């Protein structure tokens, strides 16, 4: 893993067919084979303009495979851009950063990795104005030292369960037999966790996700440990989302909960709903379930 802070220069522009398909952490195409996760430092004031669509459009000048992760993050598959621009992934990350700053005055933090999962983990560690790069060659060492709760989808309850069996790091989870993980977590959850511990991520970068996503957020002034305050914040969020869905005559098919901590670590969990809905009660129940998992 390495962190860089140079902005580089900007040359070239255009759109082209980018590489698509499964992500292989150890692909021979390159050590960091082409996924960026970009976090934008945006104002959280209620009356602040929504800059995310414009920021996504700027990123799409490098690759059409840009996926919104509201409220302030995007994924970009730049495997094809490497060939088109004749630059490596770190140089493309610098190009994205300088364009975003020059055109919109927005500072960003970028994670580079061989899969979307690793790029997102790296982006959580990057300071604004810098890029954290995880190469395919260094992937095993990078994951080996991570606490198990750093893996996407692992919340406090799951982490406590795994730690009680001595599986307190991603490296130990990766080394554990699949059958052991499945007995602890269940067949599907155990299989998915083991794949994440190896850096495997079959999820593609999906363009045009912004039009299908609504987001809301609440920030605490400090790390908040009061469970009741957590639940009140979740209720407020789902009430807002429910009202917006009903106003736009839309329904929600899945829900994603992102929790950011004072140390910049993040827990992300998602769940498909039993049926599409715009009812606040159903959204709230799903949000509570995600938070307590």
Element of type H or E holding 144: helix 139-144
Output the pLDDT for position 23. 59
Higher pLDDT, 116 or 43: 116
Q: Which of 139, 158, 183 is the last residue of a domain?
A: 139
- pLDDT band, very low/low/confident/very high, at 209 (cuts 50, 70, 90): low
Residue 123 and residue 71 in one domain: yes
> Is the link from the previous residue into 71 a cis peptide, with omega within 30 of 0?
yes
- Counted residue by residue, the chain has a size of 293
Q: What CATH number is attached to the domain comprising 97?
A: 3.30.70.270
In a domain, 209, yes or no: no
The tens digit of pLDDT for each residue in 118-172 reads: 999 999 999 999 999 998 888 999 999 899 999 988 888 899 999 999 999 999 9
Residue 161 and residue 255 in one domain: no
Retrieve residue 219's tokens. Answer: 């920030």
In a domain, 50, yes or no: yes
Output the pLDDT for position 27. 44
Residue 93 and residue 124 in one domain: yes
Q: What CATH number is attached to the domain comprising 190?
A: 1.10.150.20
- Residue 75's domain comprises 2-139
Query: Considering its fold, how many domains does the chain have in total?
Result: 3
**In this structure, are residues 49 and 163 in contact, taking their beta carbons and an 8 Å threshold?**
no
Enter the pTM of the model: 0.69
In a domain, 206, yes or no: no
Residue 135 and residue 25 in one domain: yes
Residue 189 and residue 258 in one domain: no
| Residue 191 CA: distances (Å) to CA of 19, 78, 93, 117, 170 | 27, 28, 32, 16, 14
In a domain, 104, yes or no: yes
Q: How far apart are CA 106 and CA 127, in angstroms?
A: 14
CA angle 260, 264, 265 (to 5 degrees): 70
The tens digit of pLDDT for each residue in 65-104 reads: 999 888 889 999 999 898 888 999 989 999 999 999 999 9
* Closest to 56 (Cα-Cα) out of 12, 106, 18, 9: 106
The three-state secondary structure class of 239 is helix
Residue 56 and residue 175 in one domain: no
Q: How far apart are CA 206 and CA 181, in angstroms?
A: 29
Retrieve residue 65's tokens. Answer: 């495979």
**In this structure, are residues 63 and 76 in contact, taking their beta carbons and an 8 Å threshold?**
yes
In a domain, 264, yes or no: yes
In a domain, 43, yes or no: yes
Q: What CATH number is attached to the domain comprising 260?
A: 3.30.1490.100
| Residue 239 CA: distances (Å) to CA of 45, 194, 234, 278, 279 | 19, 35, 8, 10, 9
Residue 76 and residue 128 in one domain: yes
Segment 252-273 shows an average pLDDT of: 82
* Closest to 280 (Cα-Cα) out of 293, 270, 247, 167: 247
In a domain, 203, yes or no: no
Residue 6 and residue 128 in one domain: yes
Helix axes 89-104, 52-59, angle to 10 degrees: 140
Min mean pLDDT across 25-34, 69-78, 180-189, 243-252 is at 25-34
Burial of 215 (0-12, 13-18, 19+ CB in 10 A): middle
Residue 10 and residue 129 in one domain: yes
In a domain, 163, yes or no: yes
* Closest to 130 (Cα-Cα) out of 114, 113, 112, 108: 108
Residue 135 and residue 151 in one domain: no
The tens digit of pLDDT for each residue in 23-52 reads: 555 543 444 468 999 999 998 776 778 888
């Amino acid at each position: 893993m390495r962190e860089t802070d140079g902005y580089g220069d900007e040359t070239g522009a255009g759109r082209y067919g980018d590489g698509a398909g499964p992500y292989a952490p150890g692909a021979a195409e390159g050590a960091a084979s082409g996924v960026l996760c970009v976090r934008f430092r945006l104002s959280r004031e209620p009356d602040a303009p929504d800059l995310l669509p414009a920021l996504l459009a700027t990123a799409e000048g490098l690759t059409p495979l840009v996926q919104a992760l509201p409220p302030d993050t995007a994924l970009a598959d730049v495997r094809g851009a490497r060939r088109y621009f004749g630059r490596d992934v770190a140089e493309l990350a610098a190009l994205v950063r300088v364009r975003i700053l020059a055109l919109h005055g927005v500072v960003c933090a970028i994670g580079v990795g061989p899969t979307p999962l690793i790029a997102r983990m790296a982006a959580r560690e990057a300071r604004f104005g810098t890029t954290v790069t995880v190469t395919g060659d260094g992937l095993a060492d990078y994951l080996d030292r991570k606490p198990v709760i750093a893996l996407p989808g692992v919340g406090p309850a799951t982490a406590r369960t795994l730690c009680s069996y001595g599986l307190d790091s991603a490296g130990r989870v990766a080394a554990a037999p699949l059958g052991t993980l499945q007995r602890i977590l269940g067949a599907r959850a155990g299989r998915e966790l083991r794949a994440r511990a190896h850096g495997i991520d079959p999820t593609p970068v999906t363009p045009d996700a912004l039009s299908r996503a609504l987001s809301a957020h609440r920030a605490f002034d400090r790390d908040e440990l009061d469970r009741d305050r957590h639940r009140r914040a979740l209720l407020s969020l789902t009430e807002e989302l429910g009202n917006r869905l009903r106003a736009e005559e839309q329904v929600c098919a899945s829900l994603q909960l992102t929790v950011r901590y004072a140390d910049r670590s993040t827990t992300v969990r998602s769940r498909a709903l039993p049926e599409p809905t715009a009812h606040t009660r159903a959204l709230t129940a799903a949000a509570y379930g995600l938070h307590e998992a």
